[in-house]
Chain A
């Protein structure tokens, strides 16, 4: 069964360092997303991406965050200068259709720990 894959599964970094989280969405999906979940809290939307551009972003997704689809398969989330409060599980998701009408498939997540 096709799945969304994410790397790394766990990354530890120092505050102020840049981090890139990578995702390979399901191949025939058109919509891509990043969500995050701080330990013990809700799953929160960060950004959605369609047709090679951001379609929506949340207030969390400030100038420190960026997303890119550098080739036909990868979808990346970059955090330019990490803060302690960026420590969370980051989930990539993809769907065939738009978010309101389609099923989101989530990757297993990348746990980011900022020291």
Chain B
């Protein structure tokens, strides 16, 4: 069974701090990795995707991928209260057409 694991949190950080969200996956053949943000009662919204080992930066967000360790992370710099949401890690295993989601980490950014 292919799994994507995240700590459900909540992760609480003060405004302006760096929030670090982590995700591990079980299928070593996974090819594509995604971070979605989901506000309460709303649909997932794609923030970042990463395919290659290393870092990928987009504004205040940095995705990090380590395929050897089967580990994906999302860093949010200068966290804002509006970043408070659940962050879903999702993995495309590659031999299937379905995106597999983790249970999400709830982030709380306190003013």
Contacts and interface: CB of A to CB of B under 8 A. Distances in A.
Interface of A is mostly: loop
Interface residues of B, number: 22
Interface string B49-63: 100000000000000
Contacts of A105: 46
Given A45-B99, A100-B92, A108 B44 contact: no
A108 B104 CA distance: 18
Interface string A52-91: 0001101000000000000000000000000000000001
B100 A45 contact: yes
B43 interface: yes
Nearest to A47: B98
Nearest to B100: A45
Given A100-B31, A100-B32, A100-B92, A43 B98 contact: no
B101 A44 contact: yes
Interface of A: 41-45, 48, 55-56, 58, 91, 98-101, 103-109
